[in-house]
Structure 1
Amino acid sequence: MAERLTTVAGVRAVVLGGSRARGTHRPDSDWDLGLYYRGAPDLAALTALASAFQGSTVEVAGPGGWGPWVNGGAWLRVDGAPVDWILRDLDRVEAVWSACRQGRYEVGVQPGHPLGFWSPAYPGEVALGRVLSDPSGELTALQQETSGYPEPLRAALADAAWEAEFSIDAARKSASAGDRLHVSLCLSRAFGILVQSLHAHHRTWCLNEKGALAAAAALPETPAFFAERVGAALRGLDAAAVETAAAVVRDVREVLRAKPA
């Protein structure tokens, strides 16, 4: 499939991503294929190819069809297995990688990413993916670059933990008013930032929210019972829960102040 995809005009490389690339998949996990393109990919050709693989009509969303960051693609079932095609603009990925090397990143609104799409996920996907087809070798070269986590990005994402404290302060005011929706959003935002900061502290790519809490809890020096304390705070959503969250934030920020290994 990957080899045929790279014969489509505009598609430069195909990468296996997600849990199957990292070896953490379950038997029913999706097969996630990143389709890296330049310019405008031939949507008609992609649609015809997707429909041929599935054996029935498939709709392929073009660039921007799935939002500003998860660019577009298609959901297929091939021999009973779920296969996701996810478009990635290679020019944009390279631009984000350049910004990351300078310690700059963005967090954008994106359907399917309740805590926002953190732009370092782009180079992270390249770094952690498995290149299946890359006729020109350009994505393989980019993967070699992204194997090293940039120090400016590490420092910037570790410093971002200040916002977690800000979110806790906002949650305190809403907890006293019984505004559980706002409290839940503030606490989720705070914990999401801490997860990003902890990953960056250890120069480890964090791609999205799914599984990120457990992954952060398993990192060296993460405060004891991190995931359990986060879970307790998110279940409570009251004044006591906010103070539990505040203690978690303080403990993590203490870890982040230490020099990374």
Structure 2
Amino acid sequence: MSSDLIQTLAARLAQVPGVEGVTLGGSRARGQAQPDSDIDLGMYYRAETPFDLVALSALCRELDDSGNAEPTPTGGWGLWVDGGINLTTQGQRVDFIYRELGRVDKSVQDALAGKIKLHAQTLHPHGIHSHHYAAELALGQILVDESGVLAALKARLGGYPTTLKAALIAHYDWQPDFWLYSVAKGHKRGDVHYAQGCAYQVVMAMVQVICARGEVWLTNEKGAVALASGVLGAPTDFEARVNAALTALDTAALQTLASELNGPVSRWP
């Protein structure tokens, strides 16, 4: 049912004026979906010829089981998530997520150039990198692409760029040491909030390095530790050990993980 529903939804979205392409993303694109996994559909448009929000709203109300779904305007979910709609169709959770093609093109350029820039975004505690849209396109399944623009961008990306791999490793491999120092400072002062935030950053820096070394695209913090744990070269039992270390706010355990990944870390005073 899900496969037929996905194709039907993509075809209906493509009929909205201004929509130039539709992709399948998330766990379903990776082939890792559970029975209750959402259907994530990327809806591509151009800023200079925006999609018809009125037509999209009418479609969403028609498709939604409650008949009440109302999509956001562009930018409604923030600069980098852009906007979209969460609805339920035939009992299945579905997300339509906007992607502006000019920014996707720039994201591919940034990935190829190895440009590392992290942007704050609601619901993304680590943030979203400028190459995020390129990663989505690399992992996603193109469902509708009449002009061929998405296929051309994906072909230009050509897989996981070696420039991006080198840039991510250089940007993140030294960071666990510094964040660990801050975890220890927070502990010493009894500032649990600060220590927990820094511990999270220790883990995300390690995740970025592991995934970059393995040339594994990372698009979301959700499931990131589990994803990294399965990458060749990750510390043994990475996911279980990270979960235990974060639960106990165990600085020593995080130091051990960082040492296994990058060699001995400094012992800050």
The answer to whether the superposition gives a TM-score over 0.5 is yes
Residue equivalent to 1:246: 255
**Is contact 1:121-1:205 (8 Å) kept?**
no
SS of aligned partner of 1:131 = strand
Residue equivalent to 2:130: 119
Give the deviation of 1:167 after TM superposition. 0.9
| Percentage identity across paired residues of the two chains | 39
Give the deviation of 1:164 after TM superposition. 2.0
Q: Distance in 2 between matches of 1:52 and 1:116?
A: 34
Residue equivalent to 1:85: 96
Counterpart of 1:149 in structure 2: which amino acid?
Y
Residue equivalent to 1:134: 145
Please list every run of 5 or more consecutive structure 1 residues that lacks an aligned counterpart in the other structure.
256-261
Residue equivalent to 2:24: 16
Deviations 1:83-118 (Å, cap 9, x if unpaired)? 100001111011011012111022111111111122
Are 1:71 and 2:104 matched, yes or no?
no
Give the deviation of 1:254 after TM superposition. 4.0
Counterpart of 2:107 in structure 1: which amino acid?
V
Q: Distance in 1 between matches of 2:73 and 2:116?
A: 25
Deviations 1:11-67 (Å, cap 9, x if unpaired)? 110001111111111111111000011122211111111112225132111211001
Are 1:61 and 2:69 matched, yes or no?
no
Deviations 1:98-156 (Å, cap 9, x if unpaired)? 01211102211111111112232211110111111111111022222334111111011
Which residue of the other structure, out of 235, 240, 247, is the alignment partner of 1:235?
247
Are 1:167 and 2:175 matched, yes or no?
no
Superposed, 1:211-230 pairs within 5 Å as 211-230=223-242
TM-score, reference length from structure 2: 0.89
Are 1:98 and 2:106 matched, yes or no?
no
Q: Distance in 2 between matches of 1:232 and 1:179?
A: 20
Residue equivalent to 1:47: 57
**Is contact 1:126-1:146 (8 Å) kept?**
no
Are 1:5 and 2:16 matched, yes or no?
no
CA RMSD of aligned residues (A): 1.6
User: Which sits farther off after the overlay, 145-154 or 12-21?
Assistant: 145-154
Counterpart of 1:54 in structure 2: which amino acid?
D
Q: Distance in 1 between matches of 2:62 and 2:127?
A: 34
**Is contact 2:42-2:97 (8 Å) kept?**
yes
Runs of 4+ in 1 over 4 A off after TM superposition: none
User: Which sits farther off after the overlay, 203-212 or 114-123?
Assistant: 114-123
TM-score, reference length from structure 1: 0.92
Q: Distance in 2 between matches of 1:142 and 1:235?
A: 41
Q: Distance in 2 between matches of 1:41 and 1:215?
A: 34
Aligned residues: 252
SS of aligned partner of 2:59 = helix
Q: Distance in 1 between matches of 2:263 and 2:133?
A: 28
Q: Distance in 2 between matches of 1:164 and 1:41?
A: 43
Give the deviation of 1:9 after TM superposition. 2.5
Residue equivalent to 1:176: 188
Give the deviation of 1:4 after TM superposition. 2.5
Residue equivalent to 1:32: 40
- Taking a change above 3 Å as real, the CA distance of residues 12 and 254 of structure 1, as seen in their structure-2 partners, is farther
User: Which sits farther off after the overlay, 115-124 or 149-158?
Assistant: 115-124
Counterpart of 2:82 in structure 1: which amino acid?
N
Please list every run of 5 or more consecutive structure 2 residues that lacks an aligned counterpart in the other structure.
1-8, 265-269
SS of aligned partner of 1:204 = coil
- Taking a change above 3 Å as real, the CA distance of residues 254 and 41 of structure 1, as seen in their structure-2 partners, is farther
Residue equivalent to 2:208: 196
